[in-house]
Structure 1
Amino acid sequence: MTSDSGPAPRDARLTPARPDLADIALTDIVAAERYVAPELRRLAVPSAPLRRAPREGAAIDTEAVMGDAVRVYEERDGFAYAQLVHDGYVGYLPGPSLGPAEPAPTHRVRALRTFLYPAPDLKRPPLGHLSLGAAIHVLDREGEYLRLPGDRFVFAAHCEAVGWQAPDYAGTAERLVGTPYLWGGRTSLGLDCSGLVQLVLDLAGIACPRDADQQERALGSALPPETEDLRRGDFVFWRGHVGLMLDGGRLIHANGHHMAVAVEPLRVAVTRIRQNSHGPVTGLRRLGPVGA
């Protein structure tokens, strides 16, 4: 539906279009010099920043993690103009971070972090680490380790087959207490407020957009603003910020005040945030029927 003033503007964060290039699916919808069909790729490194511009030092909007499916529209000068499949976010990834789309992941990391080894041996110097939720393709098992392509190994007990879920998303958030705050972060090495919410919901099998304003529109059902009987799993939104209730009085959120994922009384957070940064609470939301 459109208004008398024309169609609503498209969200640039989710629209793979520039003046010189756009997704072929947007032909006759947005203006561009040329339209291309994307190539499906997959992130092949533990994590990579998705930047607003194709240069080092450009602002980071979010991160891709190993196994994430990516639509690539152009590769040039070491960067790929791309869209993350799971949430639609558009930006620039380091070109070398991308690999082929196949083989598809067979397992996901359930530990907060785990190491990649060059052999099934905990005494070998690790090659890197994988974060909670990273997706991997397992070739076979050697003792207590899973073998990945490229002769890399990960401890088997830190992984589960694709399809594993952690339905208590508030409990998953509690596991991440103390994780440093990182603007754009969505790994267990660093998280921002909406990255925390997206990660824990993803592990619960619940689709979730990336940014707080998108989450406020999309998640569950709105609660009346005067609601006082908040429950575990309810979401509290401010302008540009989001937190998750652990019970009727405690909020968990990644925030710049603590520079970490922290738990505090909701009333304390509301007072401080109103005075110092994001203003008053703008919305309360609950997954499932509000009256349940």
Structure 2
Amino acid sequence: MRYGVCPISIAPLRLETSDASEMVSQVLYGELFKVLEKRKKWSKIRLAHDNYEGWIDNKQFKEIESEQYQHFVKHSKFYSKDLISHLTHEDKTLSTLTIGAQVSSTSLLKDTFQNDINTVILGSSNLINNALLFLNTPYLWGGRTPLGIDCSGFTQLIYRLSGFDLLRDASQQATQGEVLSFIEEAEPGDLAFFDNNEGKITHVGIIMSDNYIIHAHGKVRIDRLDQSGIFNVEENIHTHKLRVIKKII
């Protein structure tokens, strides 16, 4: 088995071995993964933090030893806490990082992080505050950064900053946590999931107080939430049909 780490700010994770292929997710700086298959230009990887799989360009990752992988997977998790931050590489060049980059890997990559580190404190107290930092972030299929993010990438990243590893897709995240029967039972930070006409869960958002929800739909926005789903006051319609509410923390 081969192992790798992402040495650049953001690397696209693709469905197939082509730059034109769908971007299913992104690999952030410092994230670790197993290399399942290596070809001339592309490698299929499985991310350590959520077991998500896809293809990454071989020029956009660095191979590491098994012992290094095992050590840093078990190592305390530290993440960049600012929306945008910087680090210095061994050759004195700079890179820009986004919030949630795994800066606990800087020693592995021989880099120096220049900004504040988020020391994860388990709990839900900072979930909403962190979520509000992303307001108006444009929607991007497969995105996981404040430069562009999708609905489940948004919830996954916000939970990461509070020390909890969610799975990647909305349908996967819906398998985690405890089911709540009514909206009235929900607390700020709980997750609401929504399905399509075929009954497949396709959307997720973070519940706020007073029956509001923050979610990525066109952009990260705040809408009303009721027993039917998400109500967009601007358009005067329900945009998403509520399926289930889950308590993760």
Identity %: 27
Report how many aligned residue pairs link the two structures: 228
Tell which structure's C-alpha radius of gyration is larger.
1
Superposition RMSD in Å: 2.9
Normalized against structure 2, the TM-score is what? Answer: 0.80
Specify whether residues 178 and 210 from structure 1 end up closer, same or farther in structure 2 by C-alpha distance, changes over 3 A only: same
Aligned twin of 2:199: none
Aligned twin of 1:49: 12
Aligned twin of 1:169: 127
Query: Whose RCO is larger (CA < 8 A, sep 6+)?
Result: 2
* 1:222-270 CA-partner distances (Å, limit 9, x unpaired): 111x4335321121110200111121311101112xxx11112225962
Distance 1:89 1:138 in 2: 22
Distance 2:117 2:63 in 1: 22
1:67 aligns with 2:30: yes
Normalized against structure 1, the TM-score is what? Answer: 0.69
- Letter of the structure 2 residue corresponding to residue 261 of structure 1: V
* C-alpha contact (below 8 Å) 2:106/2:112 kept by paired residues: no
Task: Between 265-274 and 102-111, report the one with greater CA deviation.
Answer: 265-274
Specify whether residues 248 and 276 from structure 1 end up closer, same or farther in structure 2 by C-alpha distance, changes over 3 A only: closer
Query: Cα offset for 1:207?
Result: 2.1
Aligned twin of 1:216: 174
Secondary structure of residue in 2 paired with 1:282: strand
Distance 1:54 1:287 in 2: 35
Q: Which runs of 5+ in 2 are unaligned?
A: 196-201
Specify whether residues 227 and 262 from structure 1 end up closer, same or farther in structure 2 by C-alpha distance, changes over 3 A only: closer
Aligned twin of 1:252: 214
Q: Which structure: greater strand fraction? A: 2
Distance 1:44 1:206 in 2: 23
* 1:168-190 CA-partner distances (Å, limit 9, x unpaired): 22221112112221111112221
* C-alpha contact (below 8 Å) 1:235/1:286 kept by paired residues: yes
Query: Cα offset for 1:60?
Result: 1.0
* Superposed counterparts of 1:258-273, under 5 Å: 260-267=219-226, 270-272=230-232
Q: Which runs of 5+ in 1 are unaligned?
A: 1-37, 140-147
* 1:41-100 CA-partner distances (Å, limit 9, x unpaired): 111111111111000110111111111111112222321111111111111011111113
Specify whether residues 178 and 87 from structure 1 end up closer, same or farther in structure 2 by C-alpha distance, changes over 3 A only: same
1:231 aligns with 2:187: yes
Distance 2:236 2:13 in 1: 30
Secondary structure of residue in 2 paired with 1:217: coil
Distance 2:45 2:248 in 1: 31
Specify whether residues 118 and 85 from structure 1 end up closer, same or farther in structure 2 by C-alpha distance, changes over 3 A only: closer
Distance 1:153 1:207 in 2: 25
Secondary structure of residue in 1 paired with 2:160: helix
1:198 aligns with 2:156: yes
- Letter of the structure 2 residue corresponding to residue 112 of structure 1: L
- Letter of the structure 2 residue corresponding to residue 233 of structure 1: G
Secondary structure of residue in 2 paired with 1:264: strand
Aligned twin of 1:286: 247
Secondary structure of residue in 2 paired with 1:248: coil
Distance 1:263 1:166 in 2: 25
**Alignment equivalent of 2:99, drawn from 116, 124, 132:** 132
Aligned twin of 2:80: 109
- Letter of the structure 1 residue corresponding to residue 9 of structure 2: P
Distance 1:281 1:198 in 2: 19
Secondary structure of residue in 2 paired with 1:171: helix
